[in-house]
Structure 1
Amino acid sequence: MTRLRLFLTLCLLATLSALAQNQTVNGLKQGPWKVTYEGSSMLRYEGTFDKGIPVGTFTHYHPNGTKRAIMVFRGKTQSCYTQEFALNGTLLAEGRYGAPGVKDSTWRIYDLNGKLLNTETYQGGSLNGPYATYYPNGKTVESGAMQDGEKTGLWTRFGENGEKTRSVEYVLGQLQGTWTEFDENGRIALRGTYENNMKEGRWLSFENGKPVHGIWYHKGVVTKEMDY
């Protein structure tokens, strides 16, 4: 009899627990929810709603059952810190959403081995601010700033050992300003100017820090060439 009562009690608790989930009030999701993939018993996500707004921690899953994302919401603002994972559980990205689907602030992007690939800065869902890419050894490949999703200002490129190899100026994705390349000793190897994405004026090649050859351009077309 005792075992029967225990069994019935457990069944009742399970039923009450199930009834307490996936509730709606006035058409809005309310309280804890667990949602499975269509036609499957595999969990797709679980979390808590307050009058239709996600609050607290939400966990999303891949169809194979591994975590796809963890989203920690800030109050009822719908702003959340998010971590996104590959099928094998490796962290692929982490950053903040200021609103549903709208990236904000700094995001870090990783490869399938967990190595940092990019750091990106968003404002209102668009790339705005510092941006950098990285070698597998953690050294910076290239760094600069983005404006409305386009390169802008000074961008610097580096070798795998951290040495500077190139600096370039952009205006909204177009080459505009000085282009400089450096040799293995950090000395200038090539310098010239871009205007509206085309070479313009004198471009100088250097050896051991001294100019050895010059080429003049107008709207990308060579107009003159000479040795020094």
Structure 2
Amino acid sequence: MIKHNIILYISLLFPIICLSQLNKKDTEGRRDGKWKVNFEGTNKPKFEGTFEHGKRIGEFKFYKRGFYEYPSAIMDFGKGNDTVSVTYYTQQGKPISKGKMLDKEREGKWIYFHKDSDSIMMSEIYKDDQLNGLQVTYFPNSQIAEKTLYKNGEKEGESLIYSEKGQLMKKLQYHQGELNGHAIYYNSSGEKMMEGDYSMGEKTGSWKYYKDGKLDEEKEF
């Protein structure tokens, strides 16, 4: 009986001990150690993670009000650097996107996933929260749908668009987000349908139109 009472006392005391280790501050009033903060007026978590004298370190879990089974975001704060690894999740715990942030801006490679799937939908390169580099989009079957270069948030350079079976459908050129330069359009069999040049979004010069893979007509713009 005495042993049973001791076990009961320890079991009741354990949550109190655990709670006493949370949400502490250092001598300068900065958050320090493990913290768990609930949404106001509830006992449901808003976020949980570890501070070291006011600075986030390691893994932090963030929750969306009304959905507490899975975190809406997990951020890993690297010790000794300002880069944060971030993964966003659906309400069912499936990943939406992941990448790195610097000063709350996307930086480097980001990956986005198809809905309710682990298959990649898109990969992008960011600098200062703007697209800079190759963006690759994928069909659900993992075939490449599009490869387009970006600079300072706008399409710049070559853009290739494919069918779900891997056939090249469009070969385009961009400058400052506008179609600019030579363009070729193909049918599903890989035969040319038309080709010509763009100048800042407008057709220019001689355009060629094909039928059954052979030149059928030319138009001047």
Asked if these proteins are the same fold (TM beyond 0.5), I'd say yes
* 2:123 corresponds to which of 119, 126, 132: 119
Identity level (%): 24
* 2:133 corresponds to which of 129, 133, 146: 129
The CA distance in 1 between the partners of 2:213 and 2:186, in whole Å, is 10
For residues 4-50 of structure 1, the C-alpha deviation after alignment (integer angstroms, 9 at most, x for no partner) is: 44444455543343222112232322111001112211112111011
Contact 2:114-2:140 within 8 A present in 1 as well: no
* 2:42 corresponds to which of 31, 40, 47: 40
- Structure-2 residue corresponding to 1:220: none
The CA distance in 2 between the partners of 1:146 and 1:53, in whole Å, is 35
- Structure-2 residue corresponding to 1:18: 19
Q: Secondary structure at the match of 1:15?
A: helix
The CA distance in 2 between the partners of 1:42 and 1:78, in whole Å, is 29
Q: Secondary structure at the match of 2:51?
A: strand
The CA distance in 1 between the partners of 2:60 and 2:94, in whole Å, is 18
Contact 1:36-1:42 within 8 A present in 2 as well: yes
Q: Secondary structure at the match of 1:14?
A: helix
RMSD between superposed Cα atoms in Å: 1.8
- Structure-1 residue corresponding to 2:54: 52
Contact 1:54-1:76 within 8 A present in 2 as well: no
- Gap runs ≥5 in structure 2: none
The letter of the residue matching 2:111 is: R
Contact 1:56-1:75 within 8 A present in 2 as well: yes
The letter of the residue matching 2:19 is: A
Matched residue count: 216
What is the Cα deviation at residue 210 of structure 1?
Answer: 2.6
Provide closer, same or farther for how the CA distance between residues 102 and 185 of structure 1 changes in structure 2, counting only shifts above 3 A: same
* 1:108 corresponds to which of 108, 111, 114: 111
Q: Secondary structure at the match of 2:180?
A: strand
State TM-score, norm by structure 1. Answer: 0.87
The CA distance in 1 between the partners of 2:98 and 2:113, in whole Å, is 9
* 1:187 corresponds to which of 178, 191, 195: 191
The CA distance in 2 between the partners of 1:215 and 1:35, in whole Å, is 67
State TM-score, norm by structure 2. Answer: 0.89
**Richer in strand (by share):** 1
- Gap runs ≥5 in structure 1: 218-228
Higher mean displacement: 114-123 or 86-95: 114-123
Q: Secondary structure at the match of 1:170?
A: strand
Q: Secondary structure at the match of 1:67?
A: coil
Contact 2:207-2:218 within 8 A present in 1 as well: yes
What is the Cα deviation at residue 175 of structure 1?
Answer: 1.1
